[in-house]
Structure 1
Amino acid sequence: MTEQTDSTVLVVDDAAASRYAMGAVLRRAGHRVVPVASAGEALVELDVRLRSGALPDVALVDVGLPDMSGFELCRRLKAVPPMAALPVVHFSAASVAAVDRCRGLDAGGEAYLTVPAEPEEIEAVVRAAVRGARIRNDAEDLARQLTLLSETIAAVQAARGPEELAHAAAEGTARLTGGPAAVFVIGEDGRLHCGAQRGRASALPPDAGAREAAVQLIRQVAARAGGVHGTVVPGPLWPPGFFHPRAGSDARLVMTHTQDGKAVVCLATPADGPRPRGPRTDTLVARLAHATALAAETLLLYQVERHIALTLQHSFLPKRLPELPGVDVVVRYVPASRNTEIGGDFYAALRTSRGILTAVGDVAGHSLDAATVMVEIRHALRAYCVEEPDPGVLAGRLDRMLQHYHADITATVCLALVDPVTGRTRIANAGHIPPLVVHDDGSAAYVEASGPLLGLGLGRPAPTETVLEPAQRLLMVTDGLIESRGTDLAVSMEHLRNAAAEAPHGTAALCDTLLDCFGRDREDDIALLALRLG
């Protein structure tokens, strides 16, 4: 079996006759030959070829070059990372001692030829050098691709939502294939989550029509086969804009279902990519599709649970407050951003026999459990305050209720009972941000009220008493408004105090100003309640 010899050989030799003879031997063996007469010419030639991405497969370098030794030329080449993989074969008719061969190998050369040599020996040495370089390059390329795959899978598994997942998978697909990529996650309800690699996200997709066409096409193709499978969609059938502005480019699709069979994941690339795509790349893309489907199933299931929790919260948090004579109360509630977990934030404003009871709280934990316990606390608070509205008594009863029914859950709450006639206010705080009293003169101060979380069964301090003046507003918030990773809560509270002091007069203006300052893309739910004597 004859070994393929379609390689390019750089021959560096200052002797024209020797350069010609060496080139003739290599050409007869099927190699392309690039002859140069000095080390300087070799460096220029290699620099040009490096810029064009067409380095030779091997360099045959005469040891006794006039401008620098072949050993030094080899060392220079091996010191440049893109050229370090170029195999170098030294040759010489004069330097043929063992010490010379050792110097060549120590300089980084792959082999050493003593010339004149038989053509068969020259051909065999060149073939061996090319073969070794290709094996090394192939191993390095595989290691690089496996590293890219593992990095992408880690990013996919860390995604907080289907859109983020699709973008992470698209970025990895593009890096694996060397060209543009788009990833589609289609839920059971037909909803499409798209992703593209950085720099192309703005072009994905161009319009709603292309989006719907992609959904229908992918679902039709995915319905015909199970497991991870690939196909090529002809250009006229593939919607324009995902890879090119106009239709006509074939698309290579790798798709699979989630384990429950309810959703489809598709990794799409142009069929005519910028570089050849072999079976190994196809295998790695298929593995990425499988990993993306595993991560997508969890995120899509979470979206369903989050929708249920949001529905539960919205159904139990009143959209309108009851008539509360003598006070002006405004509330705001903002759920966490789409890709984060839902919490158990709540608010309440209740009319009691001794004034207006306001409450803002947060159940520890996230998802449906937190929302469910939140509902229980609100109902318990409404029931308890009918008999005894004192904040200290209510905090104790809520604490015992949590210990009895939810021993593994804690919650924070701040309760304030306001007499609308006298302004007398009693405040009980259970591990929550204390209320902020905002003055119309442009100042604001926190009420010194503290106590342990609900659910711990610890002793509770007596409520704090203060008097709320008509020119003051009482502000109660959950920590989702201001809490940020890496920032001390005391610092965030001071920022809140300053922003509240500078806010326009009025309860609604106060809440809206603070939401505008702090409430964008928060990772936790936000509840605000502002009260002013009427």
Structure 2
Amino acid sequence: MCPGERGKRRRPGAASRTALAVRRSPPRGSLDPEDATRGRTRRWSGVSDTTGAPPAPTAPGPKARAGAAARPGRPPLLSFTLASLMEEVQAHSGAIYLLAAGEPVLEIAVTAGLPRAFVAPWERVGLSTPIPVAEAVRERRLVWVGGEEEMARRYPRISVVLPYPFALAAVPVATADTVYGALYVTWPGSHPTVLSDRERTELTAAADRLAKRLARSARQQRPLRAEPDLPAAPPSGVAGTLGTVEAARMVGRLPYGLISLDLHGRIAFANSAAADLLGVQVADLLGTQPWVSVPWLNDPMYEDRYRAALISQHVTSFVALKPPGDWLSFRMYPSTTGLTTRISRARAVAEMVGALPRADAAPGSRLVTISQLLSLAGALTEAVGVQDVVQLVADEVAPAVGSQALVILGSRGGRLHVLGQRGYDDPRTVERFDGLPLAERTPGTHVLNTGVPAFFESKQQLERLYPGRDDTPDGFAAWAYLPLIASGRPVGTCVLAYAEPHVFPADERAVLTSLGGLIAQALERALLYDAKNQLAHGLQAALLPHSLTPPPGIEAAARYLPAMHGMEIGGDFYDLVPTRPLAAAVIGDVQGHNVTAAGLMGQIRTGVRAFTTVGQAPEEVMRSTNRLLIDSGADLFASCLYLRLDPERGRAVMARAGHPPPLLRRPDGRVRVLDLAGGPLLGIDAEATYPTTEVSLAPGSVLALYTDGLVESPGVDIEDALVDLGELLAENGGQPLDKLADTLVRHSAAAQERVDDVAVLLLRACPDG
């Protein structure tokens, strides 16, 4: 059959007509042997087989493609192949990828049937990218995706951007020893979910022929020329769209609006009724996209409906509010050349509420909008620890997708581990998750091991796929198991439970899978934070005294609270050194909130103990500690308060280095701030001196030592804070010291915010000591 006869017997789409145009005007050249064996008489530019293996052809760059239409010469190899293949298998769009020079990257060389903007996110993709064309190249096989649901399950990244019903086949373009790239074609959502043997044969044969031609071009060292894409040409004017003047008059008399959009969404025709309904002159509509020229249609949802209609080739519709209160109904009828849109006033109450996300969407499906997705992403970035993530998922994600309960699972030692749950009245119902070996066949372990989400719309479906097991807590009827993959590795599983049987349409599965990625990133950060937090607490606990051993006649109590932000580790410290017959107490604060500050704090505390043990006087202990800090080479300073206790004589000798003054509560309940002499912060001046002050400690007196985190807070005057602290001490000073310490740190204004660490050391002279 000659090309002309083939064209008469079939009504091809845009890409098919392009292929026929190429066939009817073949350039001069030698007969292609592969085509001859198939009973065709196509001609190709003359390239003869030669020996040698020069580099494989690569995709032309963007600048080369821009000028492709103006370049004469050989026929367009890639465009010709793609258009011919699309005609043979009745596909409505496709593209050819070629390997980039010297990179493991695929680049789009030519597209057909749809604007290139639809596949812009995949203009250049790495060979490891989880999309069909890259997989086809990696595994050297045909990759078939039979529909929207399969796309959402296997390639959620694509499904999130293109959540429409369509089928896709990708084939590697390769010879026995060289890979040149890949091609793919798509069909509308009405295509059967199984690829026919004829289609499979046509696809692989076309890819093989293209690979052989590219190999010949490479051997001839003739680089590929840039080629134009092959979307259908936009209709030119009313006559080109409607065919006759009379047809245009007929459309003009219709009571509802009609507009014709090309593949790029540009308006090629609009009748007067459409202009009246839209409130824009016909002349201002032509050549524009409706979501650009009509201000109240400037919403991504409306452009999404146009994309959905073109990709799925299904009739789609939506309702839009024209200010101030007119609801208009838009119904789009697609073809391979564009789409026709009917516009009318929406009368039905259901329409005025709003259109379904998609014409064929399942009833009751809940979708997370882009704005909700961004909001959820922002909320998850605020999560700090694992329990914060669990709470945010319960508060934000679960309500958005209609779930009533959830479990977050992690893995440790080859077993599942419950990190948190919400929505189960009896926590024991989730215990069956905890400790399950990852090698055991359950929904939770399968999702974690494979990284593929699992959706169970009913209890029966779960039991059919996992007979003899019930790893899902009682009381729920549907479940979504989402793999939490971050940085390419599984960090856990999120199980969302539904109280009633729940249908998971493909678009909802895609949204849930994407949410799983956001949760995974937050969970990975939270797990790392919790690990660091445990390390910080362990270090802090190791550096501070495990217990206090006061001398006879003295009671002691201490508290330490980390700051509420950051690593929760700082340089605040305290200690009580029991030397006979005297004892020494110290409290201090090293500048900074990090491991360095904590380490330096440990050195200072050790130094104070050593200098006290050898019998140095208080002023000497301070001078020696100051030199120790300077000699360490650290660029940090420290405040410190040191005192030598003599309970038998009822007195204390104190030395201060830039530290907040202590408070003394006398037995009669009066409190005063001790104005002590002192010197500069430790670590500033090697020659600094630290004078001492002697204070009387009558039986029943309470001495309160603290760091500045207890009294300093943004917006609070330090004098007012000291007054409040003194009142607390006066009112509660008769309590046992442990209870008094809790009262001080709990009710201090600064302690409520805790922008800094807080350390408190309380000493009481025993009345009968």
TM-score (norm 2): 0.46
Alignment CA distance shift 1:144-1:285 (3 Å)? closer
Residue 341 of structure 1 contacts residue 523 of structure 1 at CA under 8 Å; is this kept in 2? no
**Quick one: which of 729, 734, 753 aligns to 1:500?**
729
Per the alignment, residue 530 of structure 1 pairs with: 762
Counterpart for residue 613 of structure 2: 386
SS of the aligned residue for 1:319 comes to coil
- Is residue 2:587 matched to residue 1:360? yes
User: Would you say 1:250 and 2:478 are equivalent positions?
Assistant: yes
- 1:166 positional shift: 1.8
Counterpart residue number, 1:371: 598
Which structure has greater helix proportion? 1
Equivalences, count:
421
Matches of 1:472 and 1:330, distance apart in 2:
14
Query: After superposition, where does 1:69-468 map in structure 2 within 5 Å?
Result: 87=320, 124-126=342-344, 145-180=369-404, 182=406, 184-186=408-410, 188=412, 191-194=417-420, 196=422, 203-204=423-424, 206-213=426-433, 216=436, 219-226=444-451, 229-232=453-456, 235=459, 237=470, 239-240=472-473, 246-259=474-487, 261=489, 263-266=491-494, 268-270=496-498, 278-322=505-549, 324-333=551-560, 341-352=568-579, 355-366=582-593, 368-387=595-614, 389-405=616-632, 407-449=634-676, 452-457=680-685, 460=688, 462-468=690-696
Aligned to 1:510: 740
Q: Deviations over 1:416-440 (max 9, x none)?
A: 2233344443333334332111122
Q: Are 1:472 and 2:701 matched, yes or no?
A: yes
Specify whether residues 490 and 215 from structure 1 end up closer, same or farther in structure 2 by C-alpha distance, changes over 3 A only: farther
Percent identity over the alignment is 26
Q: CA shift at 1:163, angstroms? A: 0.4
Q: Secondary structure of the equivalent of 2:732?
A: coil
Given the superposition, is the C-alpha separation of residues 502 and 459 from structure 1 closer, same or farther in structure 2, using an over 3 Å criterion?
farther
Q: Distance in 1 between matches of 2:685 and 2:457?
A: 64
Tell me by how many angstroms 1:315 deviates: 3.7
Report how far residue 477 of structure 1 moved: 2.1
State how far apart, in whole Å, the 1-side matches of 2:517 and 2:380 are. 11
The Cα shift of 1:266 comes to 1.5
Counterpart AA for 2:725: L
Do the aligned partners of 2:368 and 2:511 also contact (CA within 8 Å) in 1? no
**Distance in 2, Cα, partners of 1:406 & 1:166:** 44
**8 Å Cα contact 2:454/2:482 also seen in 1:** yes
CA distance in 1, matches of 2:690, 2:726: 25
What's the CA shift for 1:249? 0.7
Tell me how far apart the structure 1 counterparts of residues 585 and 713 of structure 2 sit (CA, whole Å).
26
Please give the alpha-carbon distance, in whole angstroms, between the structure 2 residues aligned to 1:484 and 1:287.
41
Secondary structure of the 2:723 match is helix
CA distance in 2, matches of 1:355, 1:290: 62
Query: Measured at CA, do residues 404 and 503 of structure 1 come closer, stay the same or move farther in structure 2, by a change above 3 Å?
Result: same
Q: 1:230·1:253 contact (CA, 8 Å) conserved in 2?
A: yes
What is the CA–CA distance in structure 2 between the aligned matches of 1:107 and 1:320, rounded to whole Å?
73
**Quick check: which has more Rg, 1 or 2?**
2
**2: distance between equivalents of 1:288 and 1:395?**
57
> Are the aligned partners of 1:180 and 1:269 in contact in 2 as well (CA < 8 Å)?
yes
Q: Distance in 1 between matches of 2:353 and 2:539?
A: 64
The answer to whether the 8 A contact 2:708-2:758 is kept is: yes
Offset at 1:173? 1.7
Aligned-residue Cα RMSD (Å) equals: 4.9
Residues of 2 paired with 1:137 and 1:464: CA distance?
Answer: 78
- 1:87 shift after superposition: 5.0
The 3-state SS of whatever aligns with 1:434 is coil
Name the stretch that deviates more: 253-262 or 439-448.
Answer: 253-262
CA distance 1:405–1:278, shift in 2 (3 Å): farther
Contact 1:186 1:215 in 2 (8 A): no
> Normalising by structure 1, what TM-score?
0.63
The answer to whether the 8 A contact 1:348-1:358 is kept is yes
Q: One-letter code of the match for 1:294?
A: Q
Residue deviations 1:440-475, cap 9 Å, x none?
222212222465443444875643514223142211
For 1:378 and 1:339, the matched residues in 2 are separated by 23
Residues 1:88 and 1:408: Cα distance change in structure 2 (over 3 Å): closer
Aligned in 2, Cα 1:273/1:249: closer, same or farther, shift over 3 Å?
closer
Deviation at 1:498, TM superposition (A): 0.9
Following TM superposition, by how much is the alpha carbon of 1:391 offset from its aligned partner in structure 2, in angstroms?
Answer: 3.8
Q: What is the distance in 1 between the residues matched to 2:483 and 2:570?
A: 34
Q: Note the alpha carbon deviations across 1:340-372, whole angstroms, 9 max, x for none.
A: 723333211114589422112233434544433
Runs (5+) with no aligned partner, structure 1: 2-24, 27-59, 62-77, 79-84, 90-104, 112-122, 197-202, 241-245
The alpha-carbon deviation at position 157 of structure 1 amounts to 1.8
Structure 2, unaligned stretches of length 5 or more? 1-12, 14-253, 256-275, 278-295, 297-317, 330-340, 359-364, 437-441, 464-469
Cα-to-partner distance string for 1:185-244 (whole Å, 9 max, x where unaligned): 526365533255xxxxxx446223424436746651334313x6344386363543xxxx
Relative to structure 1, the CA distance from residue 128 to residue 520 in structure 2 (aligned partners, 3 Å threshold; closer, same or farther) is: closer
- TM-aligned CA distance change 1:174 to 1:109, over 3 Å: closer
Cα shift at 1:162? 0.8
Cα distance change, pair 374–462 in 1 and its aligned pair in 2 (3 A):
closer
3-state SS of paired residue (1:263): strand
Aligned to 1:21: none
The residue type paired with residue 380 of structure 1 is G
Counterpart-to-counterpart distance in 2, 1:185 and 1:487: 44
Q: Residues 303 and 485 of structure 1: is their aligned pair in 2 closer, same or farther, counting only changes over 3 Å?
A: farther
User: How far does residue 154 in structure 1 lie from its aligned partner after superposition?
Assistant: 2.2
Structure 1 CA distance for aligned equivalents of residues 490 and 368 of structure 2: 34
Question: In structure 2, do the counterparts of structure 1 residues 128 and 509 end up closer, same or farther at CA, with 3 Å as the change threshold?
Answer: closer
**1:238–1:251 contact (8 Å) kept in structure 2:** no
Alpha-carbon distance in 2 for matches of 1:458, 1:281: 68
| Distance 1:188-1:389 versus aligned 2 partners, 3 A rule | farther
Q: Secondary structure at the match of 1:213?
A: coil
Letter in 2 for 1:210: V
Offset of 1:526 from its aligned partner? 4.2
- Give distance in 1, aligned partners of 2:406 and 2:550: 53
Question: Structure 1 counterpart of 2:392, which letter?
Answer: A
Cα distance in 1 between the residues matched to 2:489 and 2:529: 16
Tell me if structure 2 keeps the 8 A contact 1:354–1:389: no
